Structures are given as structure tokens and as C-alpha cells.
A and B are shown apart, each in its own frame.
Chain A
Amino acid sequence: MEHKQMTFGFLFAVMHSLLVFAVPASADEFTEADMKRWQEHYMVAVKQGRELFTDAKLGTNGVACAQCHPNAANTHPETYPKFQKQLGRVTPLWEMVNWCIRNPLEGEDLAADDERMIALQAYITHERRGVKLEPGKH
């Protein structure tokens, strides 16, 4: 019957959509608790990075990163790594952060794996979330 076929078709569509769209019990998914914990760790780094970014004591002359880069604007982390003509080679973001610490902030380099350098990059990148990657661009 026409009616019956339609009903069947409808049911089929519903079932199909359930298969495709409903979050199925996929294998070995991360637990809510894990993801919450990881996000919290990430946000701690972002928050610490924001504190360092506005900290007059990161360098030696009282100048803070945010003085020239409100909300970390014009740091364009999505363009790294890239060739910096003034440094003569391809550099990742953290080397440019150190350039800023040495020059406008008149401070000392941070090691690449320094917790503070990681936090600074977490904050800078967090403020650019959603922007597409443009590595190598100027």
C-alpha cells in the first residue's frame, strides 16, 4: 500500500539518520571526565600565559607583551613556522616570542620547554583559535 510504503520509508530514514548522526557508542572514546580534565589543564596554561603576557616583570624594563599586542593581536601564530628574513632562517613561534622578550622587553630568553614559554604560546594561540593555518605566510 502506498501509505504503508511511506511509513516504512519514513521509519527507514529515521533509523538511517540514527545510524549516521546519533553519537554511537564508538570504540574506545575518551571519557567525559578525561576530556574535562584535559581541558582544565589547557585552560590553566592559557590563563598562566595571559598573566605572563601582561606581566611587567617578564622582561627587565617593565614593558609587557600586551602593551603592543592587545588580546595577542598581530602575533599571527597561524603563520608559523616561517622564514624570518631578519633572522635568516625558518623559525617557530617560540623563537619570535624570545626575540620580543630580548628586544622590546630587554629580558632573557626562555627555553623552548620552559613552562612559561609553553603557557605564552597556549595563550597566544588560544586568542587565534578558529583562524585557518597559514604556515610560512607573511
Chain B
Amino acid sequence: MSTLNRRDFLKGAGAIMVGGGLPLSLVELAFADKAQNFTFAYISDSHIQHIKGNKFVRNWDRGLIRAVAEANLMDPKPDFIMYGGDLAQLGTKAEIDHGLELLSPLSQKINFVIGEHDYYLDLGEYWEKKVSPLHYSFDHKGVHFVVLNSILTYDDWINKWPSPEERMNQMAGLDNPNGSPFMVGEKQREWLKKDLSKVAKDTPVVVFSHSPLQKIYKGWNFWTEDAEDVQALLKPFNKVTVLYGHVHQIQYNQIGNISFHSAMATAWPWPYPQTYAQVETHLPKLTVQMNRADPFFERDATGWQMIDVYSGNVALNYSLPENEGRSVAFNPKTGQPEDKKYQAQQGRTLPQTHY
């Protein structure tokens, strides 16, 4: 479908959901032959959190329930759903099972990316058994999709904790100085190299990771230690898009041939790193930040994405409650992802002041 129709759909969707939507990303991939264009929905970072017995944190449950309901209302239906990782908060079976239960009303196939909150209790054992392989690839309508497990870390760190629960708790704190940087790792990079060797260089490639496959701020693990090595493997391809979760905020960037986009969380938003006054951080210059979240409205600055895939490039449509929706699309003229409204040629619209 064309981008115009997608935008019209978004307007319609806005009318259905009174009070606006959560950020669910709809991704549209578009091709010269419009019949080839397709969309998929992207839901991420629900952080389902177990209290005890059958009690879970209501706020995070509501975010995921809403994203699922709205994904099912999309018309035309997305070809498939991507789940971007951090379904659970502390990686327990109770949290993963409850998360899967909340995702079960989805009518399309879901492909999963693993996040650190799903992984560090049992190192992905239950996830692999019950949810999905940790890394894999698939082809859809002429696009090669790769899913990476980008939240691995050093063995020394993994083995230094007295219990799996303690290890999970340590990794769960975003700003924990005792954490450890994420990485794809040599073994998986070998796999990726082999996987990509079968793919023609003019085939559009879309890579999913949980952490950004670029270095933004190490202190909060907005970071992948071997990002440059992974980028190097993606360099020979004409059209590459990396879609990631983890950061709970809008980010986008272009590095060489690779377009980067982040997804919103359904659970809660995170401040931009530069709002932490004690360190110097750099957000990709291209990114027009989202507004600050209004704490009095618990779904504000959370959301989902609809992704349009066209000409092998990606447009990300964010639906944001209490804020105007945002659409960040690849601009073939400038060769980078740009916000369709806020990055207008006559000058970008600046976001709200971030303290």
C-alpha cells in the first residue's frame, strides 16, 4: 500500500482510539512496484512485572493489552508482528507466560527478539523453549530479515554473581554502575556472516536487535560493544535498516548505508541521556526528540509502531497518546531517515524543552 494510504489509515485509527494510542510501530517497506509494499507492526518493551500469585503490575499490563488490541484493529492487517524484546521485567516463567497470554489475541504470526530482561535469569533457556530461537533469519516478500541477540555480555560478568536472581537484578537496573555492556559476540557474528553470504547485495536487509547496533550512551547500555563489527558485515548491502527496542524513546540515525530506528516501549518512557547532567552524551544529530512524558497520564510517551516497507526502505509511524503522531521515513533524496513533519526542509521543529 502507498504511504498516503497508510497515513490516511493512521488518521482513521486515531479516530477509533479515543484519547490517542500507545506507541505501536507500524513499519511499511515499499518497493518501486507498489504491489510489493507491505507493512508489519512492532511492539516492544512491555516489562511484564510479577508481584506475587496471579498479580502483575497493572500499568505495564495495560500498555501491552492496548498495543495488542490496536494491532488487531489495523486495516489492512500488517503482514506480521515483531516483538522487540523485554517482554518480562525479571525473566521469570510467570512473567514470560503472562506476557505470552497477553499477546495471544494477536491474529498474525509474531517474531520475537530477546531483551536483557528476558535473558539474564536463565540465560535464555525458557525463552528458547517456550518463545523463540535467540537469533535467526527469515525472508518475506523479497526482504531478508535477521533477528540478533544483541544483549549478550562478557562471560566473566555472567559468572560473577552468587545466584541467577542476583545476576538478573543487576542487569535489570538501567543505570546500574555494576552492569555490563551488551554485545552480539564473535560466535553470532560468524553466524551472521554465513547467513548474509547467501543474500544478494541488492536485497533489502532489515535487522532486528534489542539494543541499538550503534553507540549512544554506555552508562545506560544505549550501546552495543561490537556495533562497528556488526555494521561492517552489513556494509556490502545496498539497503539496510536496523530496528531496535530497549531505549523506550524515539531515536533514528543514518550511518553509511544503514538506517537506524528505535521503537517505543508499551510500559514506560525513558528520558534522553543528555537529561542526566553529570555526564556528557551525544544523541544522533538527526533525531528530533519526542516530547517529555507527562507523568499524570500513565500511557504518555509510550507506544507502538507501524512500519511501512517501501523500495526496501522503512517508514516508522509512531502513535503517541496526548501528542501528535510521528512518522519517520527514509528520504531517498537525502539518503537518511527523516521526520516527515518536524524535519521539514525549511527548518526542523524543535521538541519541548527537556530539563
The interface residues of chain B lying within 8 Å CB-to-CB of A108 are none
Chain A: minimal CB distance from B199 (Å) = 37
Within 8 A of B (CB), among A66-89: 66-71, 73-74, 76, 78-79, 86
Contact B355 A134 (CB under 8 A): yes
Given contacts A66-B174, A70-B174, A127-B278, A104 and B59 within 8 Å (CB-CB): yes
Complexed CA–CA distance, A130 and B55 (Å): 42
Contact B298 A70 (CB under 8 A): no
A136 at the interface (CB under 8 A from B): no
**A49-74 vs B, Cβ < 8 Å mask (1 yes, 0 no):** 00000100000111100111111011
**Least CB separation from B175: chain A residue:** A70
Chain A: minimal CB distance from B300 (Å) = 12
Contact A127 B174 (CB under 8 A): no
Which of B174, B220, B277 has the most chain A CB atoms inside 10 A of its CB?
B277
| Choice from B49, B57, B268, B355 contacting A68 with Cβ under 8 Å | B268
The interface residues of chain B lying within 8 Å CB-to-CB of A63 are 49, 57, 59
Given contacts A61-B57, A104-B59, A74 and B49 within 8 Å (CB-CB): no
Within 8 A of B (CB), among A96-132: 99-100, 103-104, 127-131
Complexed CA–CA distance, A80 and B57 (Å): 29
B284 at the interface (CB under 8 A from A): no
B270 at the interface (CB under 8 A from A): yes
Complexed CA–CA distance, A86 and B322 (Å): 15
* Interface size, B (range): 20 to 34
Chain B: minimal CB distance from A19 (Å) = 36
The interface residues of chain A lying within 8 Å CB-to-CB of B273 are 73
Chain A: minimal CB distance from B98 (Å) = 14
The interface residues of chain A lying within 8 Å CB-to-CB of B293 are 74
Complexed CA–CA distance, A70 and B355 (Å): 14
Q: Determine chain A's interface SS by DSSP, over half rule.
A: loop
Chain A: minimal CB distance from B55 (Å) = 8
Q: Determine chain B's interface SS by DSSP, over half rule.
A: loop
The interface residues of chain B lying within 8 Å CB-to-CB of A86 are 296
Complexed CA–CA distance, A71 and B176 (Å): 9
Within 8 A of A (CB), among B253-295: 268-271, 273, 275-278, 292-293, 295
B335 at the interface (CB under 8 A from A): no
Contact B49 A62 (CB under 8 A): yes
Chain B: minimal CB distance from A82 (Å) = 11
The interface residues of chain B lying within 8 Å CB-to-CB of A68 are 268-270
Contact A70 B271 (CB under 8 A): yes
**Least CB separation from B352: chain A residue:** A138
B236 at the interface (CB under 8 A from A): no
Contact B57 A76 (CB under 8 A): no
The interface residues of chain A lying within 8 Å CB-to-CB of B275 are 73-74
Given contacts A69-B271, A71-B175, A104 and B298 within 8 Å (CB-CB): yes
Contact B277 A130 (CB under 8 A): yes
The interface residues of chain B lying within 8 Å CB-to-CB of A74 are 271, 275, 292-293, 354-355
Contact A61 B51 (CB under 8 A): yes
Chain B: minimal CB distance from A115 (Å) = 23
Measuring CB to CB, which residues of chain A are less than 8 angstroms from any residue of chain B?
A: 54, 60-63, 66-71, 73-74, 76, 78-79, 86, 99-100, 103-104, 127-131, 134, 137
Extra 6 A-B pairs, beta carbons < 8 Å, given A61-B49, A74-B293, A127-B276:
A66-B173, A70-B270, A73-B273, A104-B268, A104-B295, A129-B277
Measuring CB to CB, which residues of chain B are less than 8 angstroms from any residue of chain A?
A: 49-51, 55, 57-59, 89, 173-176, 219-220, 268-271, 273, 275-278, 292-293, 295-296, 298, 354-355
Pairs across A and B, CB under 8 Å, 25 listed: A54-B176, A61-B49, A61-B55, A62-B49, A63-B59, A66-B173, A68-B269, A69-B271, A70-B174, A70-B220, A70-B271, A71-B276, A71-B278, A73-B271, A73-B273, A73-B276, A74-B292, A74-B355, A76-B355, A78-B355, A103-B295, A127-B277, A129-B278, A130-B277, A130-B278
